Structure 1
Amino acid sequence: MRLFIFFLLLLFCFSLEAQSLSWAKSFGRGDSPLTNNAIKKALARDASGNVYTTGSFTSGAGGIDFDPGVGVFNLTSGGGTDVFISKLDANGNFVWALRIGGTGTQVGEHIALDVAGNIYIAGTFDSTPDFNPGVGVFNITSSGSLDYFIVKLDLAGNFLWAKSIGGSYGTSDNIINSLTVDAVGNIYFTGAINGGGQSFDFDPNIGTFLLTLPITAAYNIYTAKWDANGNFVWAKQLTASIGLNCVGNDIQLDALGNIFIVGNFSEMLDFDPGVGVFSMGVAGSLRAFLWVLNNGGNFIAAREFGGSGPTDRVLAKSFNFDVFNNMYLTGIFTGTADFDPNAGIFNLTSPSGSTLSLYVVKLSPIGILLWAKAVHVIPGLIDGVYDGVSSVSDCGVLVTGIFVGTADFDPSIGVFNLPPGIFTPYILQLDPNGNFIYAIKPNVTFKSPLDIDAFGNMYGIGTFSNTQDFDLNPNAVFNLTAPVEGNATFVTKLLPFPWAPSVISPLSACLNSTDTISASTVLGSSLSWYSEVTGGTFLGTGNSLITPVLTDTTTFYVQDSTCQAGPRDSITVNTISCIPLPITLLSFNAYLHNEAVQTEWVTTTEINNDYFTIERSTDAIHFDPIGTKKGAGNSNAMLNYEFLDQLSTFNFSLSTVLYYRLKQTDFNGNYEYFDVKAVYIEKNTSLDYLEVYPNPTTGEFFISWNDKLTNEIVIQLTDNLGKEIYTTFITQENRIQLKMNNELPKGIYFLNIQTNQTTVVKKIIKN
């Protein structure tokens, strides 16, 4: 099978390609904070930007250094595997590190903070460890083969209390798969209890509150609430008679304090833990659930996602809310599954009955399906999966993890494959509508969901071996090296950008004049312009800005209008002394023609014109000259020029965008730049012998190709600036007639013809 391990995040709008590293630190010889297929949220931040992490480690007598800087701070395990808790400041510098443990096996899996900065750590233990990381001792003895603990520390890491949950005898286990804390320190957690006929006491103090499994059940789903002092409030159980794959995987609170839980089940199950009945499920079919309770643990609602047969399997692992209270849910599935939790049907199908696919679902605040997307792999074999969610805005969706084999990360008709491999890391970005934006392959795998702050900075934790580059920018390198004898734990902070606006106008302008600067975004969304990087004067919205009179070199700042809390990108306009050049340029265009780029321009007047220079760029910022054309000197006639860029240095098996601009120089050496044009260079097309005719046209035209289609193609008509005129979809044809609207002005347009493998761009002229 093909393996996906993934995290889903809603994030401030930025381009992964432009993303850069703030810092990366490593310490210790850490083990993965994962002990099963559930999400382990092993990283948290406070209001000052300090970063707290937890996990497990094993050391020799000399200990392991947890200071990632030049200092040394050793922790020594007590003979087995112990828990670590680490605090770094906002710049990744060491603050403190603590140890919890004993002679057995203790693993830190979850960490959370309340608004006062108190720290909550949850994980597993056996034997009798000491849960006080300070000079005192606080022992708890495991009552089963694997018990769970929750420890509370204050802001400085001082011990406050520790509690445990255990089964009634040695082979029963309880599992905490997810934990969250509200504003006043109440603790909510979910998971599963295991061991047919066994009882688990969820009151950690002298009282007793038992949840008991039926004698025939393997697992039952539970959720529980404790107060800020670790006192029992309530616990609820969904009683399954068989209980295969019955587990709660993630728990979150909405803005009203209601409790949302997602997980899996595989039989008919009553989701009302009170006296009412609300049954869902299909016997023998692994399905996902969404379970909603109020703050008192009383039933509000439940929904399910899944298919109807034994090979139709859906696992819901994690979710979160955006600022508008929309829910984003992610998980994995095989076969065919309905992802509309209401009366409608919205099926997604994996490539084969046993192949694992990734899904991302967006629901409205009242639970209406907004969209569901899938990422598929070539059929293969699955080993294990975990995934996670974090959200900070409604500007996009980030999924990160690992995959095995070959996967297409574009959930639409397009194709975007990352290089195949075994346990290959990936980061996938989708827009708020679930459309593909970008996918990239980092060098390390994040073992816990990325956490995003109010400015869109991303924080991650994981383990690595050997030497790895932690900078996702392909033009930069930041290496960390793990100890020779094993893995190290890493913590990293990645900086966001707005949607990486691409400057599509010159960055020089005449002194004491105004100019128009332009930018575009990946999504084509509107931009906001400012005079300063923070605050400053709001200058307007749109993809272009008419500057004030430029009396000196000036920097302007631009950001996506939907991401006001995100950082702004800068555009600096250099002022130069200009002598007005009496050249009138009627048009300048560039387009793909037979694996070359044709540039054409027309002048109506030329005075003292020496020559033209054609320049090319891959980023719309740094241009190189590729050819010249002699000017007419002096002319009052309309003159046509052209230059063919043969692209001998470019690989046509790759897709890219090239930018072209025209520079005109007079006999005195004075020069002027004209507008930049973008040309999309795509893979060689499988649409052999594609023709567009008549061309030029008065409005109606035909597109034909050699063979009848076996897959859908998309035909998009755009103007010379890339603005969409219309889009149509074609199947089972090899010829189509299209028509331009009569209101469209005469001029140059472009047809973008897309299959699931390639894109062809054709120029068409309307007379």
Structure 2
Amino acid sequence: MFLRPLLALALVTSSFVARAQLFAWAAPVGYGVSKAVAVDAQGNVYACGNVNTPVDFDPGPGEALSPPGSGTNGDIYVVKYTNEGDYLWHYVAGGSGTEIAKNVAVDGNGDVLVTGYFSSYFDWDMGPDTVAPGAGYYDCFVLKLSSAGQFLWLQRITGPGEDQDHGLAVDAANNVYVTGMTSDDVSFGNGDTTLQHGGGVWDGYYAKYSAAGAFLWAKSITGSGMQRAFSVACAGDRLYLYGACKGTTTVNGTHTLTLPSNPMATYLCKTDTAGEVLWLKSQSAVGDMSGEVVRATDSSVYVFASFRGTVDADPGAGLLELVPPSPTYPQTLFARLDTSGNAVWARQLQGNIHFDCVGDIALDPQGGVVVTCAIAQTQDYDPGPGETILAPLQANDVFTAQYTATGDFLWVRMVNSPESFDTSNGAAVDQLGNVFMTGTFSDTAVFYPGPSDSLYSDAGSTIYTVKYGVDLTTALRETPPHATLQLYPNPTRDQLTLTGAFERGDALQVLDAAGRPVMRLSAQEHVMQLSVRDLRPGTYLLHWSGAKGQGSARFVVM
């Protein structure tokens, strides 16, 4: 291990509100940058970014070292942990240049998709086969690994200028969608499609690949100023694209926004899965504004943006004005929209835009939203009549907060460090509501005040992934009574009867009050008995996941 847990709090403190989440574990890695985190249906955790020195990916007593000589100028990494934070595998690739993974996602088969950009010639396959395309100034990649971390396929996006991939999404058929931007013409596949640059500073693009890695199509986002594509979300047969633009902006040659050359504004675009535009809208502020992240369900769209000055957070015809405390200090907003792009609600927080992505949002199983971001000033995280005021230790401490589907505050956690420029770049939520975030810290970080294993120290910029587990005794939001899982008698001493829509072979899991799995088994059909006599008295959660859906219910052992 390159990091060590400290046994005293020293001069570092951490502020928190004990509402719903308990610190579960942190997995520090070593010198580098972490950009994104994802979870699969089984609750396994994936993080990606780049490492700048050889590192140990195993947060436990074992060692999982990156290859000798790796990380000289920044190499791509992907690491997989169990839900309990145990190391499973890692993938590292890179050459003499700078390579960075910007986003990670998991498809329905458990295979892992990664996107980002690279600048040198190297072997992407750690096995016997070699896939080693040369790079332009910066070229983009779309990489697929198996659930065991084995190389499956690679697609390159290339041109004579600088190309950057940022957004990544996977649909129900395991097709892959990416968004990015380029400073010149850009080609996809084996040169089958080339998008002509529109003459501005940046053009955006979005593209689709099959589950097997075949290039399907690419579309352009062009204009007279600057068009930057940061995020894509897929919900059913619809895509949502989110980014930043100046001046006239046209998507796929069919829909155009006419905007001033300054300041920068957002664009939000809805398309079908063939890339055809359904609508194109924008948000703008007094100062610059950038659309950073979009997430979507069948009924709602959630966006996360940075801005300066008063902003209209509604991309639709309505006005939803947010007035920041300072007209010049950078702010962030997150908003819920309907699928026509009209605002339902919006919330603002002070933030920081020193980095190319200010943070992330993730959706929880109840339709709420988790927000993580760098923070530079004391602020109230509760938009309601209550107050939850926390102060960073230094500029760019980071926070993670959760809000309900109606935008009401639930809880907030901060990671404090005595150094500046700590980041929180990725957030994810598993099917049980456990929250994961990833980023970097410098010097020392406190993830939770108290347990020695929540405090870590190292020199330089250190990668971390952290889990905050559901506190079932105080914060459980159960499946509604009419839903698919019922337990009785409850409370019980030795046996539970389970009824529901589960089928034979579906996965059942029992978790304790700290969110730790204590029992795993396969379901029988519709009605079954479960012995709990070996469980200690306390509150537990039974979670079911299968082809027909999922459900959770609480029970008490006396």
- TM category, shorter: 0.7 to 0.9
| Structure label with greater radius of gyration | 1
Equivalent position amino acid for 1:432 in 2: A
Task: State the match for 2:360 in structure 1.
Answer: 388
Task: State the match for 1:226 in structure 2.
Answer: 209
* Aligned counterpart in structure 1 of residue 264 of structure 2, from 286, 295, 311: 286
Equivalent position amino acid for 1:300 in 2: L
Cα distance in 1 for partners of 2:101, 2:173 equals 23
TM-score (norm 2): 0.77
User: 1:84·1:97 contact (CA, 8 Å) conserved in 2?
Assistant: yes
Equivalent position amino acid for 1:325 in 2: S
The 1:69/1:300 distance shift into structure 2, 3 A limit, reads same
What SS does structure 2 have at the residue aligned with 1:17? coil
Are 1:427 and 2:400 counterparts? yes
Cα distance in 1 for partners of 2:475, 2:219 equals 50
The 1:569/1:329 distance shift into structure 2, 3 A limit, reads farther
Deviation by residue 1:308-352 (Cα, 9 ceiling, x = unmatched): xxx343322112135x62222121222222222222222222234
User: 2:305·2:332 contact (CA, 8 Å) conserved in 1?
Assistant: yes
Q: CA deviation at 1:176?
A: 0.8
Equivalent position amino acid for 1:335 in 2: G
Task: State the match for 1:30 in structure 2.
Answer: 31
The 1:290/1:67 distance shift into structure 2, 3 A limit, reads same
Cα distance in 1 for partners of 2:464, 2:353 equals 27
Cα distance in 2 for partners of 1:489, 1:293 equals 35
Aligned pairs for 1:323-722 within 5 A: 325-376=299-350, 383-384=354-355, 386-394=358-366, 396-412=368-384, 414-420=386-392, 421-443=394-416, 447-470=424-447, 472=448, 474=449, 476-483=451-458, 485-497=459-471, 500=474, 531-532=490-491, 565=551, 568=554
What SS does structure 2 have at the residue aligned with 1:401? strand
What SS does structure 1 have at the residue aligned with 2:220? strand
TM-score (norm 1): 0.57
Aligned length: 481
The 1:425/1:90 distance shift into structure 2, 3 A limit, reads closer
Aligned pairs for 1:8-157 within 5 A: 16-27=18-29, 29-33=30-34, 40-41=35-36, 43-59=37-53, 63-75=54-66, 76-78=68-70, 79-142=72-135, 144-157=136-149
User: 1:375·1:411 contact (CA, 8 Å) conserved in 2?
Assistant: no
Q: CA deviation at 1:163?
A: 2.3
What SS does structure 2 have at the residue aligned with 1:328? strand
User: 1:456·1:566 contact (CA, 8 Å) conserved in 2?
Assistant: no
Q: CA deviation at 1:493?
A: 2.4
The 1:338/1:84 distance shift into structure 2, 3 A limit, reads closer
Task: State the match for 1:251 in structure 2.
Answer: 232
Cα distance in 2 for partners of 1:155, 1:556 equals 33
Q: CA deviation at 1:387?
A: 2.0
Deviation by residue 1:640-673 (Cα, 9 ceiling, x = unmatched): xxxxxxxxxxxxxxxxxxxxxxxxxxxxxxxxxx
User: 1:174·1:193 contact (CA, 8 Å) conserved in 2?
Assistant: yes
Task: State the match for 2:166 in structure 1.
Answer: 177
Cα distance in 2 for partners of 1:138, 1:558 equals 46
The 1:95/1:340 distance shift into structure 2, 3 A limit, reads closer
Aligned pairs for 1:723-742 within 5 A: none
User: 1:192·1:220 contact (CA, 8 Å) conserved in 2?
Assistant: yes
Cα RMSD of the aligned pairs, angstroms, is: 3.3
Deviation by residue 1:11-56 (Cα, 9 ceiling, x = unmatched): xxxx8535223333333x23113xxxxxx43x23333333222222
Cα distance in 1 for partners of 2:368, 2:462 equals 31
The 1:476/1:199 distance shift into structure 2, 3 A limit, reads same
Q: Specify every segment of 5 or more residues in structure 1 that has no aligned partner in the other structure, as ranges.
A: 1-14, 34-39, 503-519, 522-527, 539-552, 573-767
Equivalent position amino acid for 1:250 in 2: S
User: 1:337·1:347 contact (CA, 8 Å) conserved in 2?
Assistant: yes
Between stretches 412-421 and 153-162, larger displacement belongs to: 412-421
Q: Specify every segment of 5 or more residues in structure 2 that has no aligned partner in the other structure, as ranges.
A: 1-16, 479-485, 500-535, 543-549
Task: State the match for 2:283 in structure 1.
Answer: 305
The 1:96/1:290 distance shift into structure 2, 3 A limit, reads same
Equivalent position amino acid for 1:316 in 2: G
Percent of matched pairs sharing the same residue: 26
What SS does structure 1 have at the residue aligned with 2:158? strand
**Relative contact order: is structure 1 or structure 2 higher (C-alpha 8 Å, sep ≥ 6)?**
2
User: 1:340·1:346 contact (CA, 8 Å) conserved in 2?
Assistant: yes
User: 2:230·2:292 contact (CA, 8 Å) conserved in 1?
Assistant: yes
* Aligned counterpart in structure 1 of residue 192 of structure 2, from 189, 208, 211: 208
